[in-house]
Structure 1
Amino acid sequence: MQWPTTLLRHDTPAAMNSGVQPHYDWLILDPQAHRNPDLGLWTMRTPAHWRDWPKLQRLDLTPLPRHRRRYLHWEGQLTGNRGHVHIAGRGHVVAHLWTPARIELTLHPHAANHATEEPIALSLTPLAAGWRGVVNSPVR
């Protein structure tokens, strides 16, 4: 099955004032959501846009609290002086394996003109404080 995903560019006040690069929040509708409609979005912080992931080959993801589903389509000013988010990418994932010990998926980013960009195959394994993502290869 295909699950919607969104990449939000998160500009924090600290980053905006100091010139530090923004980070990205990666949101995926959890594949378990069909069993639990109230389940929030699987959400991770990543330092890079997903178009850069194949060049990096490996990335460390920081877990964030589950977000409400509306954040798949929402952008704007955050409350509590937490900055601003805007949608940096949309697409879908195909989850081949989704367990607490390992996630295998293929990310299918959608370009702004609604064309599909090059898919990215990822293997995710848990770390003590997050997840490690390994880009297996672009899918051809």
Structure 2
Amino acid sequence: MGTKFPHTDQPVQVRTVLMRHDAPDGVHFDWMIEDPAESQGRLWTARVLIPAGQWHDVGRWRIEPIGRHRRVYLTYEGPLTDGRGTLTRVDQGVCRVVEWSDDGIVIDVQMSAFEGVVEVAKAHDGQWWATERER
């Protein structure tokens, strides 16, 4: 899959947040994770249709990676510019990074509504999926 973490005996831990995005085209969630290779860079971001509290129930859910977002969104809540809607933080926490590359990631997620190992990867049909894995 690509770069494996940790490079040392110490686990790489990054922050994550799940935002409810009330957008003009409907409601979805933006899942944002700090990139372990760019600790002060933009956030890896994916659109998710279900909240973290349902991830255990479904086990596998479709995600849509979108453009990287500014770090301010780790803590920001409120209206977005240019009529793009409103953000509300619905969950937050940390992830221990197991693997991280452009092709996919494996992280041990610890948020309020979800704890577990998640693998994010692109399927043969071009769709991206997040799948809960055994710890």
- Aligned partner (choices 82, 85, 100) of residue 83 of structure 1: 85
Q: Choose the corresponding residue for 2:128, options 124, 127, 131.
A: 131
Give 1 or 2: higher helix fraction: 1
Q: Quick check: which one's strand share is greater?
A: 2
Once the 2 structures are TM-superposed, how far is the Cα of residue 78 of structure 1 from its aligned partner? 0.8
- Deviation digits for residues 25-66 of structure 1, max 9, x if unmatched? 0000111114xx3x2100000001111111111111111111
Count residues with an aligned counterpart: 123
Which of 33, 37, 42 aligns to 2:38? It is 33
Are 1:120 and 2:122 counterparts? no
1:64–1:101 distance in 2 versus 1, CA, 3 Å: closer
In structure 2, what residue type is equivalent to 1:28? Answer: I
Asked if structure 2 preserves the Cα contact closer than 8 Å seen for 1:63 and 1:130, the reply is no
TM-fit CA distance, 1:3 = 0.4
TM-score computed with the length of structure 2 as normaliser: 0.83
Counterpart in the other structure of 2:22: 11
Once the two structures are superposed, residues 75-109 of structure 1 have per-residue CA deviations (whole angstroms, 9 ceiling, x without a partner) of 10111111111101010111101122331111100
- Contact 1:9 1:85 (8 Å CA) reproduced: yes
List runs of 5+ in structure 2 lacking aligned partners.
1-11
Query: Separation in 1 of the partners of 2:114 and 2:83?
Result: 36
Q: Distance in 2 between matches of 1:104 and 1:14?
A: 30
Q: TM-score, normalised by structure 1?
A: 0.80
Q: Which amino acid aligns with 1:104?
A: V
**Unpaired segments of 5 or more residues in structure 1?**
16-21, 111-116
What's the secondary structure of 1:33's corresponding residue? Answer: coil
1:40 and 1:68 in contact (8 A); partners too: yes
- Indicate the SS of the match to 2:72: helix
Q: Percent identity?
A: 29
Cα distance in structure 2, aligned partners of 1:78 and 1:43: 16
CA contact under 8 A between 2:52 and 2:114: conserved in structure 1? no
Q: Which residue of 5, 17, 23 maps to 2:28?
A: 23
